[in-house]
């Protein structure tokens, strides 16, 4: 029998070398210089540590913005142009909705990396139900498949998911998925994640009518006196407040060059900034988003006043009529 060869142990790292390497790594992680490109953003330390995987993505996006630009806390996106994008390429309209679904996920990752706390996506309006049934089925299928596929990503990144709109009109399978997603992500906070609000079968007029009905019932039962109804009480009955979206959109971005409001958050957006992108939604890339954010950051929001105010993104403690800040949610 041949002699058994003894394996040579790998040379152990000298204890002092190990300590030096650990100290260098620790210094890099904790030093201000290592995160210098993050300084303009309203991050908490917990958020930074939970989102280290986004640093490269963030650095590429952040360096394209002027250092003085502060991103909005609540960004709303009106997703328009999916059908036209497909038609321009000789494809069925459903192909545009599929591509638009993937674009939404990409844009959300950029928003997350930039530290935007709340993003609302206007996915399906109450008026969209008048489209051909086949197209509606494709739209709802894309939404359901994307939500199901990315729910695990939401958990890993502590993203809270909420849905506003006429839930009863959605397919039962989508209703069940929404209920599950909202329940499972309800505990995630803005301190270490973000909130994504999907507007499905949503209409601003319908939301106002629902709020009026809720208050009318309370007046009828004596819970609320008519003279007690003011803007704050009325706003608390809107679906956004009911789902914990307490801050109105700071910036609303609409794609495809259309300049209509399209029945979106009519009450909440009274003093929101508006930006129109010529890009169709499936073509809406990071540079288009950064252009909108840069435009927003250069504006001055006066909320009806004439006194000198800070740039738009810095005016986070004032609302129309001098109301107090809605708070970070």
Active site residues: 80, 128
* Number of Cβ atoms within 10 Å of the Cβ of 162: 22
| C-alpha span between 312 and 298 (Å, rounded) | 7
User: 164 - beta bridge partners?
Assistant: 199
Task: Supply φ then ψ for residue 78, to 5 degrees.
Answer: -95, 110
What does the alpha-carbon distance between residue 153 and residue 174 come to, in Å, rounded to a whole number? 18
Distance, in Å, from the CA atom of 286 to the CA atom of 240, rounded to the nearest integer, reads: 27
Beta carbons within 8 Å of 110's beta carbon, 6+ residues apart: 57, 61, 286, 289
* Alpha helices (runs of H) in 157-299, residue ranges in sequence order: 172-185, 204-220, 231-235, 239-242, 286-297
Q: Rounded to an integer, what distance in angstroms lies between the CA atom of residue 68 and that of residue 101?
A: 32
Q: How many CB atoms lie within 10 A of CB 26?
A: 10
Give the SS3 label for residue 36.
Answer: helix
């Amino acid at each position: 029998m041949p002699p058994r060869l003894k394996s040579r142990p790998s040379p152990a790292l000298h204890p002092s070398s190990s300590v030096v390497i650990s100290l260098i790594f620790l210094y890099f992680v904790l030093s201000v210089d290592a995160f210098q490109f993050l300084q303009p953003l309203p991050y908490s330390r917990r958020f930074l540590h939970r989102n280290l995987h986004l640093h490269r993505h963030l650095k590429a996006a952040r360096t394209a913005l002027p250092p003085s630009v502060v991103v909005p806390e609540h960004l709303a996106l009106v997703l328009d142009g999916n059908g036209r994008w497909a038609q321009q390429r000789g494809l069925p309209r459903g192909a545009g909705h599929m591509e638009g679904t993937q674009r939404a996920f990409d844009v959300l990752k950029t928003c997350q990396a930039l530290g935007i706390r709340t993003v609302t996506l206007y996915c399906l309006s109450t008026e969209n139900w008048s489209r051909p049934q086949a197209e509606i089925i494709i739209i709802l299928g894309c939404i359901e498949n994307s939500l199901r596929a990315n729910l695990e990503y939401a958990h890993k990144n502590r993203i809270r998911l909420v849905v506003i709109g006429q839930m009863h009109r959605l397919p039962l399978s989508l209703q069940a998925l929404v209920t599950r997603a909202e329940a499972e992500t309800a505990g995630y906070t803005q301190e270490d994640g973000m909130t994504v609000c999907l507007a499905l079968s949503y209409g601003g007029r319908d939301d106002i009518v629902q709020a009026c009905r809720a208050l009318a019932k309370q007046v009828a039962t004596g819970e609320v006196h008519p003279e007690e109804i003011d803007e704050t009480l009325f706003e608390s009955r809107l679906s956004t407040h009911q789902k914990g979206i307490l801050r109105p959109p700071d910036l609303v971005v609409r794609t495809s060059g259309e300049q209509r409001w399209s029945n979106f958050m009519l009450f909440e957006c009274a003093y929101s900034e508006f930006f129109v992108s010529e890009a169709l939604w499936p073509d809406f890339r990071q540079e288009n988003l950064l252009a909108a954010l840069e435009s927003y950051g250069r504006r001055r929001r006066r909320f009806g006043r004439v006194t000198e105010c800070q740039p738009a993104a810095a005016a986070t403690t004032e609302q129309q009529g001098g109301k107090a800040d809605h708070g970070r949610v």
